[in-house]
Structure formats: C-alpha cells, structure tokens
Structure 1
Amino acid sequence: MLLLVGIVLLLSACSGQNLLKNGDFETMDGWHCYGFHCELTNIKHTGNHALKVSGRTQYWQGPGQDLPYLDPKKTYKISSYVKMLNDIPGEMGQYIELEVAITFTDNSKTYMSLASYPRISSKDGFVLVESIFTVPQKSIKTANLYYQGPKAGIEYIVDTASIVPIQLDTNWRKESDNYIESHRKSDIHFKVTSDAGIDKSQVNIQITQKKKAFPFGTAINMGVYNHGNTKYRDFIHKHFNWGVLENALKWDLIEPKQGAADYATPINTIKTLRNHGIKMRAHNIVWSKGKYVPTWVQSMTGSTLRQTVHQRFIDIVSKTKGLVEHWDVNNENLHGFWFQDKLNDQYFNHQMFTWAHQVDPTVKLFLNDYGVVAQASSTAPYLEQALEFKKANVHLYGLGVQCHFVEDVAPNPTVLKENLNTLAKAGLPIWVTELDVGTHDENLRADWYETILRVMYGHPSVEGVMFWGFWDQAHWRKDRGALVVGNDVTLTAAGRRVLDLFENQWMTKESRKLSTAGSQFTVRGFHGDYEVKVTYKGHTISDQTKTFTLDKTSKTINIHVHQ
C-alpha cells in the first residue's frame, strides 16, 4: 500500500462550517467510544493532539459522533486522516471506512458508506480517507457518523476530521455543452466551384453524419443475443457502436471445470457483433473476490495457483486477440484481494497486467471498479492505485468506472464532475463501463440518464460510455434501469431521451444552399463518418458524393458543381 499524501478533491466551492464537533481532536468532546478505549495522543497529523483508538474486540467498533445538522438538501465533503499503529501477521493491511447511520422520521433506516480505504498498514503513516456524498432526500430523525473496518486488536489514530457542505455547481450544464462544442466537434471546410451557367440557388449540399466516433455501448447478454428475441439483437446493431459480453468471458462461467472451457460460443458471438460494426470490450480475465474464483481453483496454492492463473491469461487473451479492443484485467481489485492473499504477493496485480500485455501487446488494459464516480467512497484510493500502476509501468491504459447509481437517488452533477476531476489526475483515459440508474418513474430515469451522459460526454478524460444493459428482460434492474421494455422492445421515456442525445443532438445533419452559403463555408460537425451529397435542380451529382471521417483535425472538402 502506497502512502496517500496530499490528495485533495478540488472543490472550489467548499463552504460552511465543519459539522463535526472537535474534528481536530484537540479534545474528545462530542466523540463517543462504546465498548473500547479512546484517548488523546500527541502522535498527530495536525495540531497538538489526535485520537488513539484501542481495546477493540469487533471490526465495527470505532469512534463516533451524532450529527444533528445533517441536511437532506445538501451535498458534503467528508475527510479524515487515519494511521494504523499495528499489523496482523500475514495480512497486507486493514480496511477502514467512514459510515453514517441514518434514521428517518418514518423510522426507516439506512447505512451509508461515505469514504473508505483498503489495505492500510502501519508503515503507510497517516492516510487521507475522503469523499463527497449527497444525503438522501428524506426527513432525518437521527444521524450518527462512525469509523469501522480494521479487525479486532488493531489500534489506530484518527485526526483532522471534517464534514463540510459544498456549493452545487450551477454552471455544470453550460460548461459541459461548451466542452462538447469545442472538443467533440471539428470544422469541415467546404470549397465549391461550378461550371458557367450553374444556377446557384438550385444547388444543395447535404452533410450527413452516418456513424459517431465516440463510443456509446452496452453490455450484451450472450444467451439472449444468440437465442432470444431478435428485436434485442436488432436494437444493439442499430443503436450502439460498442459492446461487452456481460458474463460470458468470466473465468468461473467459461471454465466451470478445469480444462472444460467453452471458448467457441463467446468468440463466435464477438465475431458476429464485429461483423455488425460493433467494437468490443472484454470483461474480465479474473475477479479477485473468492465467490467469483472458479471452485476448482480455490484449493490451489503457491506455484500451482500462479501457473494456473498464468494459463488462464494465455488461454483467454490469445483467443480474443484481434477481436477485442479492451480487457478488464482483475475486476474490482480495490475491493477483492483473493489472489494476492492466497499467494502472499501484494503486487500480483502487476504481474497479471504484464502477462496480459505479453499475450496481446495491442489490447488496452483496464482497471475496473465501483464506488469511484457514481459514489465517492473509493475515489481517492482508486486514484492512488492508478498512480501506483503507472509507476510500475505494467501497461495500464485506462480506468473503468462502473457507475451503478443508487436506487431512487438522483445523480448529482457536482459530485460526478469532482470525482471525474479527481481520477483525471492520473492522466489516463476514463471509460464508464457499467452505467445504470434505478427508478420506476421512466421520466425521472430519462432526466437522470441525460444528466449523467451530459457530464460524461462533456468531460475531457472520458473516452467512452457503456450501459450495463438496456432491455428490462435482460437487465439486472429490470424495468427500473431500462431504456426499452416488453417483447416488442418498446422505447421508454428514458430510451427516447438517450437516443435523442446519441442520434439527434450529438450527431450532425446539415444542409446548405450554395446561393446563400457562398463558395467557401464551414460546418462544425461531431466526430465520426460522413457522407456529403450534392444536388442540382433536385438531381444528385453522383461523382461529387464524398465520404470521409472527421476526427480532431479539421477537414477540407472540395466540390465542383456541373450539369
């Protein structure tokens, strides 16, 4: 675990007082420590004192404080420095989180993990645990903040804790639109000549974008795609330019018994999708949570386990070589450490990235995790992990951010932008890999997807957006996350809104009459593939039809109008 120093969310609009009493721990006033011991110590991060926590017998025991002023109308930044004082032999560090327990006035309850950090050891010194969060929009009866996570027997110090309200970014939409206009589009310069006698008022030039360059994709249920409703297939082919097989490449599903892997079906499915012009991500080579490790692998240790994992990389990456653009290497490896623990190798993730690159040097390799953009509990450690992988030079290309939004909670554009800005400090491309929201109200769902897509498309580090499904009959959230529903694959309000963005607002279709546009004019177009048609007196001049691809560089199109 690398020491996290000085990672600060650039919340330019932070305002208001700290909701925590004695967050500087110069006294213990306001803090409670039930069933364990707390005392002031001069081992501190700032000021004169910090709080030492000892005598814990349960992982959930940690100092806490009542929050009488938590406002459901506000968004907050929470932060605290934490230092582990001892380690457990054979373990690579401890997990800690800042959590709040809320009881609402209707007596319902919720527990929110606000900020977390994995694998902190005593050698790391003080580590900053921080995030931004939005309070559920319900009337609050009581709220209590507490630290939890390190195993029983671990002693630690906390210091410099704060919960501060932040101002919402009311200009986010304008800023997003400005970026889209300036960076997702380029100039198309037209130079037009004509034969003598041509009536310029009868010349029409039609500029039509046929395909978008920016990746808008979806997770694909292989069984439904191959054997289910053909309208599901047709919708994918018509409306998405990228795809990812939802589960079919995962190790425990493709090889449930050693040596009994079925590669043919997913590989053929990928080939079919590519034949329809859809580029493919691949998800995932391994998943470092025990329940997702094949059962026949779980008893392995030492060199046998290492060799078996290596063979998995050789097998699957070689078979997808030339067919997929991306691989998620070790899924959610901020939240799972099965291979590292089993092999007692803290940097085994680095080895796995190296293996993948050795098999296919052309495929782009990704980290992929949750709680990093849609929520912010793991944003800071994800940045630290990205910087660690960059420093190790193990061919990490980009950061996958899953973006499964909390049920019935509106996405907050301020939170999204700040989390993206934090991760952008890694200097790596960001892909939204698993996007969905959850609400029965399809009009709210439309609003929420639009907000998210505008923030993502309008951020300089975001290279692509993948929905985690779109049809209620092939979606883990059913109709609550769907763009289309029913056997007829009928568009919902959310689907209509998303397609309006994809295929109308963010596509270019322009027409110019030569008599008004002049012989030289410029059209600003979204990046992608284009066709230009010229008509004179209603008839197409076929030899002046132009096709081209518009990218970040402007394009000049020469046209000669003749009879």
Structure 2
Amino acid sequence: MRALARLAVTTLMVAAPVAAVTVATTANAAGDPAPITVLTSDFEDGTSQGWTGRSAETIASSTAVAHGGTRSLAISGRTAAWQGPSHDVLGTFEKGTAYTISAWVRMESGSDSARLSVERRTGEVAAYDQVVGNTAVISGGWTNLTGRYTLATDVDFLRIYVETASTTGSFYLDDVTASYVPSLPIQTDIPAVKDVVPEFPVGAAITGAEIIGDHGSLLKRHFTSVTPGNALKWDATEPTENTFSYAQADPLIAFAETNGLAIRGHTLVWHNQTPSWVFTGADGQPMTATAEDKELLLARLENHIRNVAGHYGSDIGVWDVVNEVIDENQADGLRRSTWYTVAGLDYIRTAFRVAREVLPDAKLFINDYNTNVPAKRDKLYNLVAQLRAEGVPIDGVGHQMHINVSWPSIAETEAMIEKFAPLGVEQQVTEMDVSIYTNSSETFPAPPADRLLQQAYVYRDMFALFREHASEITSVTLWGLADDNTWLDTFPVTRKDAPLLFDTRLQAKPAYWGVADPSKIGTSPSPSVSSSPSSSPSSSPSAGSSTCAVTYRVTGSWPGGFQGDVKVANTGTAAISGWKLAWRFAGGQQVAQLWNGSVAQSGADVTVTNASWNGAIAPGGTASFGFLGSATGGNPAPAAFALNGTNCAVL
C-alpha cells in the first residue's frame, strides 16, 4: 500500500532560520465545543511537573529560554537519541478517546528532528506508537509538535515522550498539553454506505482505534469489509526470524468476524516495513545477487507466508500478496527493491505459488499505487500478463487510488479499469482517499468549504464510475474510517488533511453525501475530474514563456536519505504546454522515486518531465512534484534550474 510506504519514510517541516515553526496536524470543525484539557505542563513553578528522563539524562526546570512565561524544561546529558522527557498518562488517558497532544520543542544549539510518541506496555510486552513523526527542530525558535492519539487496548503502562532522530544534543520542552473534544454520537438517521452502494463491498482500513466505542459503531454501520492497515505486515507479524506475533491483528480479525465483516489481508510481501534480518545473509552481511542469498531469501519468504496466511486460513478471503513492485522509470518496469535485486521475479512467483498452496480458495492480488498513470499502468499490465501466462495464480489487481481533489480525471481512471479488463482478473480499489491538498506547499488550519465540496464531487464521480464498472470492480476500500486517523496527516508533509467520508468527530461530510446521495451536494461538476490537461513535453519553451521560477525544498531527512518537493511557476505571459525541468546535484544525491512526473538521472544531472495531468502551466500557474532521494554525504540544494532549456529564478 502506498500509504505505509510513505509512512515508513520519516517526514518533517523545513524550519525557518529564526522564526518559530508550527506544525499543525489537527483542526476542529467550526462549532465544535471547547476541548477539555487533561494535562498541562508549563514548568512555571520551577519543577519538572512529573516529567522524568527515559534513562540517565538530566531533566530540570530552566530559565534559559521559554516558549511562554519565563521557564521551560531542559533536557541534557543525553547519550542516545531515544533519551528524552517522558510523562505518565496511564491514569489520565481513557481507552477509546482521541487526545490531541501538543508540545513545543527547541534545540539548545544546532538542529535535529524531534518525535512525539507513546510507549505502552501490557505485562512485559512493550509497544511504541508515533504521534508526530520526525519534525525539524532548531535552536533559533520553537517548533510545535501536535498530533492525535487514541488508546485502543488495555495497558499496564502508558507514557508520552519526546526524542530526537539522530543527535544527542540538549533541548528544551515547554507548554505541553493533552486535550480532547467530547464525542458526538454517530448519526443513525443517514443511509449506510453499504446500503446505498449494493454493487460491491465497501470497506475501510482500520487500526485498533477503529474497533472500539463510537468508531466501532460507525464501522459496523457503514462498511462491509475491513483491511488491517499495519497489523498483518511483516514487521508486525514476524519481527524476528521464525518468531510470529498476531497480537496486533487478532483483535481486528475477531471484531470483523463477530460483526460479519469480510477481511482483506494486507500484505505478505512489501519492500517497506520488512525487518532488516530478512535481507541479511547467513554471513551477517546484506544480501546480494548470489545463489546462496537467493535461496535463503525465498526460503524465508515461503516460511513467512505459510505461517501468517496459514494462521488465518479461510478467515481472510482476499490477500494483497505482493505490494508496490512496479517502478515505471525502469525499462522493465520493476522496482529495484532488495527482493528483486536478490531474487528477480522469482520472489513474486514464489509468493503467489505458496499463497495458493496455503489458501486454495482465497483471491490473490497484486497491489500498487498510481495505476491511473499510463506509464505505471502499462508496466503493471505487462507484468501481470507475463506472470499469468506462466501460470502464476494472480486473481486480481489492486488499485490503491490515493488521489486528491484535482487529480486524476475520470477518463484516466476509466482507462485504468479498462486496461486490465482483457486479462480477466478481478480489480479492486484497495486504499482510496481523496486529499484536500493539490501540492505539498498548501496547508490549511481547517478544511476550506470549497475544498470539501470539490472532494465531494470527486467521491461522487469516482463511485459512479466504479458502479458503472461493477463487473470489473469487485470491492472498494477506503484507507481509513474517519479524518481523525489518516496517514495523510504526516505525508508528504505534516499538516492536517481530511481525505475520508467522515470528519474528526465521526460526522458525515459532503464527501459522504457525494457517495450516499449526490443530490445533496448540488449538480456542479468537479473541476478535478471533468477535465485533465494532457500534453507531451516540448523540447523548447512555449512561445513567449521565457521566464520561470523554481522553489526547491527538502521536506524530510533521515540517515542516508531525504524527501524533496519542487514547485515550478510560470512567471511569463504565455502558457507552457509540456515541460522538462533540469538541474545538477552537487552532493552526489540520487533520486530513488518520484511522483507527479517522470525522472531521468545521469550522474549529477537530473531531468524531470511532466506527467500527463500537469503538463500545462498557465501564466501565473504552477506545477509541483515530489521525490525521495539518497544522500550519503551532504545534501546541498541545486544552485540552478532550467525549464525547457530556459534558466529559472530560484526562490
């Protein structure tokens, strides 16, 4: 699934040189009651107010700097990045309540990335939940870490804590709060989604938080299937070799079975969220393309599938067997994951063969994102056609459908469905959500009404398309239940998104009515799906478009890698019809994956070409794309950019 491929990459906001940086990941709807605060730490009384270190670090009240008032909490003497301030909330947080946790952090010197997390224990078993991912923190200003957390299980130990990503530098903490908004009962006087869409099952991806209280009631009322979002992945089910755990997944499966919900298994093979031991050879070194490593890797794969799939047997009727194996920028279309570099296509063949042996009656899917992009769609089609011709038991193709309010068009999506129809496979929409954002630069304190309406039109038109193709589309799953728990709050940048049918208080949005009763949102067409500019790049600037400006930002970084965001602005007087943007990396960086365009790199030289939907840039308009890259040394920003051969201003 794309969602957790992205979640596996830490993300952060770029800090301004001196001003405080606010990272907002929550927003209350207009008319919400005032939050009820259950924890406040301002350190103005000169004590640590219950905060302690996670190890032997020093925790003390300080007057050196303060976010508010005159004091903060100083954390020093750290010898590991995970060390930091921690506070007990076992007697404060109630199971099933969504808490907004906010903390202000500032480095004493230099910079790093900070995380806000929760440690919980049941008996001797510890688990760690990330509330806010890696976020840039500097010494020149305060950074706000804000996120939502819902305790989904009974625990014996529960603490919130702050840590850094890479250094052991001292930092300050101030003005910590935890609060919740009183819940509303779910609406029982509106149609159930499962009743108004009878053509195929409609499901939701879930975590433990979605099966309790009002969340569980909402799930049971509207949906007919569930997908455990993370609980069936390799890192959750086999964290160490041949030691299997189903502690995360079993409660979700039991809830589904008790309430008559079908289950989609996700996922048996993926290049992300796979423990490093899987790719470590018998000699203790990273695996390479040797016969010995290939044999060991495929043996581990077979053992994993036989155990995990076998544990649930017929309880799970559909599995995403392999996930995200396509890279349209490769000549053969195959992602150069360790799975592929060590075992070639045999890892896919083995996965489906073993899954069929263990699950003779299950539907076995290959799943990927951006399958409405022609280049990726066609590479996936070619792979499925080849493997099925070999007898590999692929029953279906999963289209993730992580989309936004302006992309893709209905025509592109229909072409996606029609492309695979001749193969005779089932098709399912496996991870659908509709972001209210159109690029990584936008941030809203609360979802704007016009974006929510535009989103409703997208859901209306996409579901109408899926229902028209019910003979090909056999299931639609939304990647989440409600806006209070969505992976898009932290990817591609940290900001509050609202991509689902129900809001943060579990109330129906215009998006819901776009599916349940489109007459309630009016008849205006959605600009995002009624048309889509499609143009091929030209080799020279369009007439009159002699000026351009480029904004290049690093929006996330981690050891050995980073995430970039690029915005191209047409500052000329004529439209650009098709574009290529070129630059040089001076630090040896390599682009590993790119979205909203296609990339070619030769040494230090990078060229990005528009996608079919963003090739036209009107005067004053912009086009954006993002990418993941490797950076083993420094990571200097490119000094210059050229658009269709014309040098651009760098903002």
TM-score of the superposed pair, with normalisation by structure 1: 0.48
Between 1 and 2, higher relative CO (CA 8 Å, sep ≥ 6) is seen in 1
Higher helix share: 1
